[in-house]
């Protein structure tokens, strides 16, 4: 799922607040139903049911699912993820995550962001450790960004834009491309 800019998410939420259906917004915005629902409906549902966040709600929902192997509810998100990986033919959750990371590395947005960060580090004479300290993440996380295996969340993206001296809007635009 491509990362959406904060302004685009706000726009989706405004449309949803006006009563426009998730399906209509998805068509109008050229997004999938899941993208629109994730950023509008799921959060609304979570908050309306007293959950502090979307993550808390999703974790609760996962713990309500039945593990087909044991016939019991999943104890945790981690247990569910491990089982899901095995059902999808992977030996472990970590092998499945490696597979997903390789897919992410091939995404145009991840490659562009990775190349831009690498170029700016070279220009500014900074290394991964310097950047990590500046944006408040581990050096390993910077390495993951440079490999294109992951993209920063919005709060880190803002810090990254300052650290590499690239306007935030440019980073948002890179990550929003299809």
- Please give the average per-residue pLDDT across 51-65, as a whole number: 85
Rounded distance between C-alpha atoms, residue 151 and residue 132, angstroms: 14
Domain ranges (residues) in the chain = 1-62, 108-176
- Please state which architecture CATH assigns to domain 1-62: Orthogonal Bundle (1.10)
What is the third-level CATH fold of 108-176? 434 Repressor (Amino-terminal Domain) (1.10.260)
> Residue 19's pLDDT is what?
77
- Please give the average per-residue pLDDT across 128-137, as a whole number: 93
Contact yes or no for 71/79 (Cβ under 8 A): no
More confident of the two residues 93 and 41: 93
- Please give the average per-residue pLDDT across 116-137, as a whole number: 92
**pTM of the predicted structure, to 2 decimals:** 0.53
Rounded distance between C-alpha atoms, residue 153 and residue 160, angstroms: 10
Torsions phi, psi of 152, nearest 5? -65, 150
Rounded distance between C-alpha atoms, residue 36 and residue 97, angstroms: 24
More confident of the two residues 141 and 50: 141
**Tokens standing for 48?**
């309306």
């Amino acid at each position: 799922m491509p990362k959406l800019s904060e302004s685009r998410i706000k726009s989706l939420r405004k449309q949803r607040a006006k009563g426009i259906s998730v399906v209509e917004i998805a068509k109008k915005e050229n997004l999938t139903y899941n993208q629109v629902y994730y950023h509008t409906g799921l959060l609304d549902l979570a908050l309306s049911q007293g959950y502090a966040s979307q993550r808390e709600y999703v974790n609760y929902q996962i713990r309500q699912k039945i593990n087909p192997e044991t016939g019991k509810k999943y104890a945790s998100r981690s247990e569910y993820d491990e089982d899901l990986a095995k059902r999808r033919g992977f030996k472990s959750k970590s092998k499945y995550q490696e597979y997903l990371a390789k897919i992410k590395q091939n995404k145009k947005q991840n490659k562009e962001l990775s190349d831009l960060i690498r170029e700016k580090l070279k220009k500014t004479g900074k290394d991964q450790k310097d950047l990590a300290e500046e944006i408040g993440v581990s050096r390993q996380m910077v390495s993951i960004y440079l490999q294109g295996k992951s993209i920063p969340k919005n709060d880190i993206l803002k810090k990254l834009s300052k650290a590499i001296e690239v306007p935030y809007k440019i980073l948002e635009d890179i990550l929003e491309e299809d």
